[in-house]
Amino acid sequence: MRGWNEFGPDIPNEDLTPKDVPAPDAPYWQAIELFALTFDGYADGGFDRCAQTGNAASAAYAASGDLPQTLTDLRTCLFFEQRRWRHFEADPDPASLAYIRALLESIRRKVQTNELT
């Protein structure tokens, strides 16, 4: 059931639809950043777990192009990237934006194939 988290509208995995996921060419602030906040990556394990998941996935993507396998981990990583770049008070650099867009595409595929965990 859709509701609210501390960042705004909340969309649980089981309620996520392909139309909720921003397009591959969507602008960062107006679509991607707002979508990232529809999932509270801190809810399961707090900041430390979110940071560990996000940093490990970012490093794996930079090293080999690998992305997390579950929708929850993908959304945790997207959430963490939003929080990271908000902390930096900047838009993501080109390499980070490519990673963020790869996360989005993987999220879209999971939703389209109904892999909602």
| SS3 of the chain | CCEEECCEEECCHHHCCHHHCCCCCCCHHHHHHHHHCCCCCCCCCHHHHHHHHHHHHHHHHHHHCCCCCCHHHHHHHHHHHHHHHHHHCCCCCHHHHHHHHHHHHHHHHHHHCCCCC
**Has residue 52 been placed in a domain?**
yes
**Has residue 117 been placed in a domain?**
no
pLDDT tens column, 34-72: 999 999 999 989 999 999 999 999 999 999 999 999 999
What's residue 3's pLDDT?
85
Domain with 85 in it: 3-112
Q: How many CB atoms lie within 10 A of CB 107?
A: 25
**Has residue 9 been placed in a domain?**
yes
**What total number of domains does the chain contain?**
1
What's residue 44's pLDDT?
86
**Has residue 65 been placed in a domain?**
yes
8 confidence band (pLDDT: 50, 70, 90): confident
**Has residue 30 been placed in a domain?**
yes
**Has residue 72 been placed in a domain?**
yes
